Amino acid sequence: MKKRRGLGLSLENMMDVKNTDVRNIPLDDIEPSPYQPRQIFSEEEINTLAQSIQKHGLLQPIVVRRKGDKFEIIAGERRYRALQKLGKKIAPVIVVNVSDKEAMALAIIENIERKDLTLWEVASSIKKLKDDMGLTLEEIATMLGKSKSHISNILRMFQLSDNVLQLVKKYPNKLTLSHIKLLLEIKQPQWQITLAEKVVSEGLSTRQLEEEVNTIKYIQDGKLPETQDKENKTAKKDETVDRLRKLAKKYIPMKSTVRRVKNGYKLIISVDDEETAEKLIDYLKNWTK
């Protein structure tokens, strides 16, 4: 029985050693990989690489595999783009024999090793490996050199509302995995979006976001954030009142106040007329969506 090729292998030892000679093929015969995880290519980086190639030549061949009458890039799309920019007609390549599953795996590994992908790009690639290629979390974790729990946490990102996911994609340096784990504690999409926008606009740290999440969780289910120091319990409650009042003023579109009572807190919303009442009804309907 033929031994199954492992998925945790490097680019070099996945190659068929009989096909590692460098060949020169027309650049027009090369196509980008559909498995390329990188969605944004820096024009500045491509220009810098093109200048280096113009001066020193292409120091590392592009790695490709045969796909019909063409050759599909496994590793080296930036080199391919730089050669295009220089108007080159021929590209030095190494042709390897790998499956679709291995091609996707190698595209991810090559990009992660050379330059970090954004969280969105990594998550999208892992989702493809799982959904399209049928890999298990254990296989993906081994392939990327990460723990299974880390891979699982990244995939949980797709439980967020679509609007929040778009923010994660647009602002990769502001919404981190730690922020996302906190946002997932909030079930209502409306609040997820509000808090995610606040992280982006105000640059909230994970600790600051955690405070807001704890406050909103209290509003949702009446559960107070845990206090670690009993001596500071009263002061902590007063701080909670202040946070609740600020949040109520910011997020509730009518007059409201918060008071501390014997067994917790009371949120009072003032409804002075029919118009305000209808406004409150619409607000509460949206709250439950």
For 243-278, how does the pLDDT look when each residue is reduced to its tens digit (9 = 90+)?
Answer: 787 777 777 777 777 777 767 777 788 777 777 777
Least confident of 5-9, 65-69, 174-178, 196-200: 5-9
- Point out the domain boundary residue: 191, 206, 223: 223
| Whether residue 125 sits in one domain with residue 183 | no
Question: Which CATH number fits the domain that encloses residue 105?
Answer: 3.90.1530.10
What pLDDT score does 116 carry?
Answer: 64
Q: Distance (Å, rounded) from C-alpha 19 to C-alpha 12?
A: 12
pLDDT-above-70 percentage for the chain: 81
Q: Output the CA–CA distances (angstroms, integers) from residue 179 to 202, 220, 240, in the order listed.
A: 13, 20, 21
Which domain covers residue 218, as residue numbers? Answer: 160-223
Q: Which of these is catalytic: 72, 77, 102, 121?
A: 77
| Residues 6 or more apart whose Cβ sits within 8 Å of residue 93 | 22, 23, 24, 25, 30, 61, 62, 63, 64, 71
**Mean pLDDT in the chain?**
79
**Span 131-143, mean pLDDT?**
84
Among candidate residues 223, 248, 274, the one where a domain is terminated: 223
Cross-strand pairs, 261: 264
Q: What is the pLDDT of residues 38-94, one digit of tens each?
A: 767 778 888 888 999 998 888 889 989 998 899 999 888 889 999 999 999 999 999
Tell whether 61 and 165 lie within a shared domain: no
Q: Is 102 a catalytic residue?
A: no
Is residue 285 located within the same domain as residue 203?
no
Place of tokens 């949980």: 156
